[in-house]
């Protein structure tokens, strides 16, 4: 008859086995005493605590405590927490960016969200939605999982028409060009999640003449794809390292500038603030380090770390910081330290002092 281990002994063996495997994989002899101490603590808690605590619960708590000691961007999620996160993301219901009111015709459109799916589909205030996917229109029928398509039958004073719309959140265009005096342009880059370098190049080339100077505004830009940040910097420079992603495991990934005959040679000033983060900080820092631009505004946010997700068989997951971005001068973007602009401009109500300062630099 097989011997039944006591709960305390079983917990000790499980925990110690976990430590043994980890220590062996690390290849560090001095790790064994630490993992053995962990196993003994787990065994003592299971055997003597006032109420029963499962080994899995203790291991989850230990792993959460471990990542809490690393940095604010690393986190361990037990199976139930990670499942809840994924379910919440997958099950989130979104609409198409419309405000509607019930009318005899169906749903009368009283408002259209700027940059939302409905606006992109050409729906305007005054349209009436008569059918949603062939059924009677209702506000609930407009909602569903993000990215799913619906067919809307629309009626207005001029005609009836049908449009297909993808449910989703409002997403502003990645950039906007605003003409300034003296041939200058103000390019507001809102995010780097979508392509910027190529469409911006095409938009500037389509103008009657290239600008005499550019105010590149990345204030409030939360970042996006590091490759897109490098591509944007590459349009302003023809040589040099733009950004290095440095990892302890796996080596460095270096993105360098390349020479193009249509590289931009006009002067540029970059506007930054406390909400300029991540890939947007790469744009600002690289242009300054490569002596291509000066920074104007306020200290940036400071988000220069790279995270990777590890998913495990039991349903748990680990989000771990695995690297950091380094600018051309060799300095990292340190968390919550950010970049200090060359010209610091404090915000003033009703005025854009940073933009005024940038224009003044370009007109010198």
Q: Is the pLDDT of residue 28 over 80?
A: no
Q: Is the pLDDT of residue 12 over 50?
A: no
Do 215 and 337 belong to one domain?
A: yes
Report d(CA 239, CA 117) in Å as an integer: 40
Burial class (CB in 10 A: 0-12, 13-18, 19+), 69: exposed
β-bridge mates for residue 151, sequence order:
164
Do 189 and 232 belong to one domain?
A: yes
3-state secondary structure of 138: coil
User: Taking a C-beta distance cutoff of 8 angstroms, is the pair 113, 97 a contact?
Assistant: yes
Let me know if residue 80 belongs to a domain.
no
Helix (H) or strand (E) holding 319: strand 317-326
Do 146 and 285 belong to one domain?
A: no
What is the band of 178 on the pLDDT scale with cuts at 50, 70, 90?
A: very high
- Phi, psi values for residue 306, rounded to 5°: -115, 130
Q: What is the pLDDT of residue 25?
A: 52
Let me know if residue 256 belongs to a domain.
yes
User: Which of residues 121, 143, 166 is at a domain's end?
Assistant: 166
Q: For residues 34 and 261, which has the higher predicted lDDT (pLDDT)? A: 261
CATH number at residue 302: 3.90.226.10
Do 187 and 325 belong to one domain?
A: yes
Tens of pLDDT along 319-356?
999 999 999 999 999 999 999 999 999 888 889 999 99
Let me know if residue 2 belongs to a domain.
no
User: Which of residues 112, 142, 166 is at a domain's end?
Assistant: 166
Tens of pLDDT along 142-169?
998 888 999 999 999 878 999 999 999 8
What does the pLDDT average to over 25-49? 76
- CA 12 vs. chain centroid, Å, equals 41
What is the band of 107 on the pLDDT scale with cuts at 50, 70, 90?
A: very high
Let me know if residue 76 belongs to a domain.
no
Do 150 and 223 belong to one domain?
A: no
Structural tokens at position 44: 């003592």
Q: What is the pLDDT of residue 347?
A: 85
Do 56 and 13 belong to one domain?
A: yes
Report d(CA 231, CA 255) in Å as an integer: 9
Tell me how far CA of residue 26 lies from CA of 30, 217, 294, in angstroms.
10, 46, 45
Beta-sheet strand order (sheet of 343-344): 175-179, 184-189, 213-217, 268-272, 293-297, 343-344
Tens of pLDDT along 40-77?
888 888 888 999 988 888 888 999 999 999 999 999 99
Domain that holds residue 190: 175-362
Do 355 and 320 belong to one domain?
A: yes
Q: What is the pLDDT of residue 94?
A: 87
Do 132 and 271 belong to one domain?
A: no
Q: What is the pLDDT of residue 33?
A: 80
Q: Is the pLDDT of residue 83 over 80?
A: yes
Report d(CA 110, CA 113) in Å as an integer: 10
Let me know if residue 266 belongs to a domain.
yes
Do 343 and 222 belong to one domain?
A: yes
Percent of residues, the chain, with pLDDT higher than 70: 91
Tens of pLDDT along 192-245?
999 999 999 999 999 989 999 999 999 999 999 999 999 999 999 999 999 999
Q: What is the pLDDT of residue 23?
A: 47
Do 158 and 184 belong to one domain?
A: no
Lowest mean pLDDT among 87-96, 97-106, 345-354: 87-96
Q: For residues 16 and 310, which has the higher predicted lDDT (pLDDT)? A: 310
Q: What is the pLDDT of residue 6?
A: 56
Do 157 and 189 belong to one domain?
A: no
Using alpha carbons only, give the angle 74, 42, 3 rounded to the nearest 5 degrees: 130
Give the chain's domain count: 3
What is the band of 29 on the pLDDT scale with cuts at 50, 70, 90?
A: low
User: Taking a C-beta distance cutoff of 8 angstroms, is the pair 90, 78 a contact?
Assistant: no
Tens of pLDDT along 109-132?
999 999 999 999 999 999 999 999
Q: What is the pLDDT of residue 36?
A: 81
Let me know if residue 251 belongs to a domain.
yes
Q: Is the pLDDT of residue 291 over 90?
A: yes
Q: What is the DSSP string of 162-204?
A: EEEEE-------SEEEEE-GGGEEEEEE--BSS--HHHHHHHH
User: Which of residues 145, 166, 187 is at a domain's end?
Assistant: 166
Do 266 and 117 belong to one domain?
A: no
Q: Is the pTM value of this prediction over 0.85?
A: no
What is the band of 139 on the pLDDT scale with cuts at 50, 70, 90?
A: confident
Report d(CA 50, CA 317) in Å as an integer: 30
User: Taking a C-beta distance cutoff of 8 angstroms, is the pair 13, 44 a contact?
Assistant: no
Mean pLDDT of the chain: 89
Tell me how far CA of residue 104 lies from CA of 110, 136, 283, in angstroms.
14, 11, 53
* Nearest of 327, 307, 328 to residue 319 by alpha carbon: 307
CATH number at residue 115: 2.30.42.10
């Amino acid at each position: 008859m097989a011997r039944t281990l006591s709960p305390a002994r079983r917990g000790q063996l499980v925990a110690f086995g976990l430590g043994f495997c980890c220590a062996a994989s690390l290849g560090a002899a001095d790790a064994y005493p630490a993992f053995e101490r962990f196993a003994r603590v787990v065994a003592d808690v299971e055997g003597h605590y006032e109420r029963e605590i499962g080994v899995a619960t203790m291991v989850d708590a230990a792993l959460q405590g471990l990542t809490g000691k690393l940095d604010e961007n690393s986190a361990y999620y037990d199976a139930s927490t990670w499942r809840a996160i994924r379910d919440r993301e997958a099950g989130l219901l979104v609409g198409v960016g419309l405000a509607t009111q019930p009318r005899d015709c169906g749903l009368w459109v009283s408002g259209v969200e700027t940059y939302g799916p409905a606006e992109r589909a050409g729906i305007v205030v005054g349209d009436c939605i008569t059918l949603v996917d062939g059924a009677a229109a209702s506000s609930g029928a407009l909602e569903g999982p993000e990215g799913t398509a619906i067919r809307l039958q629309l009626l207005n004073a001029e005609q009836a028409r049908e449009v297909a719309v993808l449910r989703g959140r409002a997403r502003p265009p990645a950039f906007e060009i605003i003409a300034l005096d003296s041939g200058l342009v103000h390019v507001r880059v809102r995010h780097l999640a979508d392509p910027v370098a190529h469409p911006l190049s095409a938009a500037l080339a389509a103008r009657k003449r290239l600008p005499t100077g550019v105010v590149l505004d990345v204030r409030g830009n939360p970042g996006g794809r590091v490759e897109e940040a490098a591509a944007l910097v590459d349009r302003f420079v023809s040589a040099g390292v733009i950004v290095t992603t440095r990892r302890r495991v796996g080596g460095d990934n270096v993105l360098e500038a390349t020479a193009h005959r249509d590289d931009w040679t006009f002067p540029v000033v970059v506007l930054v603030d406390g909400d300029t983060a991540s890939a947007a900080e790469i744009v600002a820092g690289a242009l300054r380090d490569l002596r291509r631009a000066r920074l104007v505004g306020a200290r940036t946010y400071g988000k220069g770390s790279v995270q990777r997700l590890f998913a495990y068989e039991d349903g748990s997951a680990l989000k771990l910081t695995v690297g950091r971005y380094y600018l051309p001068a060799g300095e990292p973007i340190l968390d919550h330290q950010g970049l200090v602009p060359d010209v610091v401009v404090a915000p003033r109500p009703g005025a854009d002092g940073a933009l005024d300062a940038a224009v003044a630099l370009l007109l010198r």
